[in-house]
Amino acid sequence: MSLLIRNGRIVTAVDDYRADVFIEDETISHIGLDLDMDADRIIDARDKLVIPGGVDPHTHMDMPFGGTTSADDFETGTRAAAFGGTTTIIDFVVQQKGHSTLEALETWHAKAEGKACIDYGFHMIVTDMEDERLWEMRRLCDEGITSYKMFMAYPGVLYVDDGTLFRAMRKAADDGTLVCMHAENGIVIDEIVKRHLAEGKTSPRYHALTRPTRMEAEGVHRAIAIAEVAGAPVYIVHLSCADALEQVTLARDRGAPVYAETCPQYLFLDIGHYEQEGFEGAKYVMTPPLRERWNQDHLWRGLAFGDLHSIATDHCPFCFKDQKALGIDDFSKIPNGAPGVENRMSLVYNGGVVAGRISPNKFVELTSTAAAKLFGLFPKKGTIAVGSDADIVVFDPKRKETISVGNLHTHHMNVDYNAYEGMEVQGVSETVVCRGRVVVADGDWHGHSGGGNFLKRGTFDGRA
Ligand code: URP
Ligand code: ZN
Ligand code: ZN
């Protein structure tokens, strides 16, 4: 099977030029001007950008959490991702406390196999790591699981203490793997939550008011300090505010190998969303919470100047009617998380490139290349080059869409609301190619469940 993408403007994290791309089976085999080659299928990309498929390094499909399970499974979630121009996700396996991480990995393989429509890798959420279990981390690395997530938040659920963090980070430093940190001081936050509930403050707005930015900044500071002593690089996930970013900047300025992601929700939504009528604010209950709008300028600066490296979604959808309602009388029982995997590329292009904040190259870096490099997928993923996997998006930089749960072009996620409802975006993924197969063309689905492969990822030594 061969595919020729003609007349497009190829944009990678570093290049921007006109050329044709020829794909044989799953791989890019030729790039050049006016390629004179026979192909089984030809796509005309005139006036379009030809960009690497998006890599979203932070999703939660089919994840038991908050007394329920995230609403997208690997089939619906990866199909929605593909519609939005994302061709690779890295999802999170959850270790059950006291049980083997390898057992958890098997469970997640079973969830994804035969269902995922795009390629996928796994991080491991480590919930305990006693000395006698440390050997599992090396085994995980051999299985292609080269990054872990650990939580300073959610005491009694996913939280790990600093000793566990340190032990795991030392082992990660030995193995060349990367620890991803949910950095918030969950112990203090839980005290604040208890006090609010005792005062009868139970509505969704208190989710934000009980999680101060200082508690995120403290978590980031502590995670970095522990990583420095352990001699390990660290990647801060879903960084939401200027306070926390300052800690990353300070650490990087002294040469520490610290990396961080933010998410569209922190760039485009704000704390005002919790003030919507009735229980509507529950739609935005995610952790960390939405922040005051002024933080967004700081995040964009961090992205533009290199202290924030990637934009992930933290896609963790729960239906408003049946799932968010678990916390109707108590905000602390609202399942934490929001949908977004489908809308990331358009949101970032519109709010970044169209708004003049970042270049098209930076857009590709933030939505694809950086995550591919940090998480051991580059150059198979994250770029357009001879020998790379043919994960390509023909992206219309002029077309506009209004994001809505009711718009069949912008919402295929299995959740009954869209966090970006009514937002108009310029820049739409038109044709999406996953390993040489056209999976989306002009809004129609051509992919299939099980079409995605599990990706055994390589290691990362912390060097930029
Ligand atoms: O609210 C969130 N972020 N839910 C998903 C779990 C996590 O902390 O990433
Ligand atoms: Zn988290
Ligand atoms: Zn998450």
Local confidence pLDDT in tens for the 464 residues of the chain: 999 999 999 999 999 999 999 999 999 999 999 999 999 999 999 999 999 999 999 999 999 999 999 999 999 999 999 999 999 999 999 999 999 999 999 999 999 999 999 999 999 999 999 999 999 999 999 999 999 999 999 999 999 999 999 999 999 999 999 999 999 999 999 999 999 999 999 999 999 999 999 999 999 999 999 999 999 999 999 999 999 999 999 999 999 999 999 999 999 999 999 999 999 999 999 999 999 999 999 999 999 999 999 999 999 999 999 999 999 999 999 999 999 999 999 999 999 999 999 999 999 999 999 999 999 999 999 999 999 999 999 999 999 999 999 999 999 999 999 999 999 999 999 999 999 999 999 899 999 999 999 999 999 877 77
Is residue 354 within 8 Å of 427, Cβ to Cβ? Answer: yes
Orientation angle between helical segments 242-253 and 213-230, nearest 10 degrees: 20
pLDDT digits (tens, 9 = 90+) for 224-264: 999 999 999 999 999 999 999 999 999 999 999 999 999 99
The span from the CA of 400 to the CA of 12, in Å, is 22
Residue 280 CB neighbour total at 10 angstroms: 15
Orientation angle between helical segments 135-142 and 101-112, nearest 10 degrees: 30
**Residue bearing the CA closest to ligand 1, atom 2:** 337
Q: Which of 240, 316, 323, 341 to mutate to test the pocket of ligand 1 (most atoms within 8 A of CB)?
A: 316
**Residue bearing the CA closest to ligand 1, atom 8:** 287
The first and second tokens of residue 359, run together, are 């270049």
The span from the CA of 262 to the CA of 257, in Å, is 17
- For residue 60 and ligand 1, the question of a CB distance below 6 A is answered with yes
pTM: 0.98
Orientation angle between helical segments 135-142 and 162-175, nearest 10 degrees: 50
- Ligand 1 atom closest to 285 (CA): 1
- For residue 337 and ligand 1, the question of a CB distance below 6 A is answered with yes
- Ligand 1 atom closest to 154 (CA): 8
Distance 60 CA to ligand 3 centre (A): 6
- For residue 261 and ligand 1, the question of a CB distance below 6 A is answered with no
DSSP 383-446: S--TTSB--EEEEEEEEEEE--TT-TTT--SSSS--TTTT-EEEEEEEEEEETTEEEEETTEE-
**H or E stretch including 190?**
helix 186-198
- For residue 310 and ligand 1, the question of a CB distance below 6 A is answered with no
The span from the CA of 126 to the CA of 243, in Å, is 26
Residue 400 CB neighbour total at 10 angstroms: 13
Q: Which of 59, 60, 266 to mutate to test the pocket of ligand 1 (most atoms within 8 A of CB)?
A: 60
- For residue 282 and ligand 1, the question of a CB distance below 6 A is answered with no
- Ligand 1 atom closest to 158 (CA): 8
How is residue 350 annotated by DSSP? I
- For residue 314 and ligand 1, the question of a CB distance below 6 A is answered with yes
Cα torsion 390, 392, 394, 397: sign: negative
DSSP 263-295: -HHHHH--GGGGGSSTTGGGGG--SSPP--TTH
**Residue bearing the CA closest to ligand 1, atom 4:** 337
Residue 30 CB neighbour total at 10 angstroms: 14
